[in-house]
Structure 1
Amino acid sequence: MQEYQRKQLLERVEREGATVGAAIPEEIDVQGEPIDLRSFVFEIKRRETVPPGERERVERAKRNLRRERRQRRRRLESGSISYEDGERLAEAIVGIDRALEGLESLEPSDIESEKQAKEAADRKRWMTFLKQALGRDETGGAGPRAGSGGGRDSQGGKR
């Protein structure tokens, strides 16, 4: 493969919109093991969220796909393959990227998780404030209120 061809293929796999319109490979060898990648991704995506029992399987698949992508990119970088093999490698790398995008879109990002946690904490603080402001204790019962006989008189002493 010529140097300019290698650079073109590398640019193609690193291009920001490379996965637009790209197909997920039907089957791919990852770490020497054949995987029905397309059916796996569609099976998981059909559920919209990853069930707790499947999370480890999906995470393992993503790690293996990232590792496979790095190895294939290194082969492409080496330039010690034919241009035709390089094109096949580039197409497979883009397909792996497409599969990874599909799998990663199922889980909320760390930013989304943080946002949800902050919103939950804000709601809890607001409810605690409202309970205190309305004179309710944590069990939902009524606490001391003005004029109920449990407060202080005008000079600050107990009634």
Structure 2
Amino acid sequence: MKEFERKQLLERVNREGATVGAQIPERIDIQGEEIDLQQFVFEIKRRDTIPPGEHERVDQAKRNLRRERLERLQRIEDNEVSYEKGEELVEAIVGIDRALNALEQLRPVDLEQEAKLQNAADQKRWMNFLKKALGRGDGPSKRGGR
């Protein structure tokens, strides 16, 4: 591959907004293992948060995707491939970036915050129960008139 072609491919990978409109690859070979990447990302993303049992699995997937992205990019940088193969690698890299973006946007379930919210809701229900039980509930005010 010619030097200007290599630079052109690298520019496409590093271009801001390169992932806009890009598709997450349906299947991808990572470290010799075929992965249903699109299905995995959509399955996890559908939940909007990372459940505690899936946290390690998602972290491992992100590490593997980053490693695979770097290896593919290195092949272009080292000029080890033809221009046609380089174009294929660019498409795969942009797809990997798209998958990583989707996985990075997920937020882990914050168990401590969830416990605090649950505790506050329990206290509020308890206080409402006590007010009703003591006759200070939702009825009209017992204060004097105007």
Which residue does 2:100 correspond to in 1? Answer: 100
Alpha-carbon distance in structure 1 between the residues aligned to 2:8 and 2:17: 15
Alpha-carbon distance in structure 2 between the residues aligned to 1:107 and 1:70: 24
Residue 19 of structure 1: SS of its match in structure 2?
Answer: coil
Which residue does 2:134 correspond to in 1? Answer: none
Which residue does 1:62 correspond to in 2? Answer: 62
CA RMSD, Structure 1 to Structure 2 (Å): 1.5
Q: Describe the superposition over 1:114-148 as per-residue Cα deviations: whole angstroms up to 9, x where unpaired.
A: xxx8xx9xxxxxxxxxxxxxxxxxxxxxxxxxxxx
Q: Describe the superposition over 1:61-109 as per-residue Cα deviations: whole angstroms up to 9, x where unpaired.
A: 000000000000000111121111000000000000000000000027x
Q: Which runs of 5+ in 2 are unaligned?
A: 117-146
Which residue does 1:34 correspond to in 2? Answer: 34
Alpha-carbon distance in structure 2 between the residues aligned to 1:67 and 1:80: 18
Computing the radius of gyration from Cα coordinates, the structure with the larger value is 1
Residue 20 of structure 2: SS of its match in structure 1?
Answer: coil
Q: Could you tell me the TM-score, scaled by structure 1's length?
A: 0.67
Alpha-carbon distance in structure 1 between the residues aligned to 2:107 and 2:92: 24
Which residue does 2:89 correspond to in 1? Answer: 89
- Number of equivalent positions: 111
Alpha-carbon distance in structure 1 between the residues aligned to 2:7 and 2:53: 42
Amino acid in structure 2 at the alignment position of 1:31 = Q
Matched, 1:77 2:77: yes
Alpha-carbon distance in structure 1 between the residues aligned to 2:81 and 2:45: 35
- Give the percent of matched residue pairs that are identical in Structure 1 and Structure 2: 69
The 5 A counterparts of 1:44-55 are 44-55=44-55
Alpha-carbon distance in structure 1 between the residues aligned to 2:80 and 2:57: 34
Residue 99 of structure 2: SS of its match in structure 1?
Answer: helix
Which residue does 2:143 correspond to in 1? Answer: none
Which structure carries more relative contact order (alpha carbon 8 Å, separation 6+)? Answer: 2
Residue 34 of structure 1: SS of its match in structure 2?
Answer: strand
Amino acid in structure 1 at the alignment position of 2:96 = I
Alpha-carbon distance in structure 1 between the residues aligned to 2:3 and 2:102: 32
Amino acid in structure 1 at the alignment position of 2:14 = E
Which residue does 1:6 correspond to in 2? Answer: 6
Alpha-carbon distance in structure 2 between the residues aligned to 1:23 and 1:36: 13
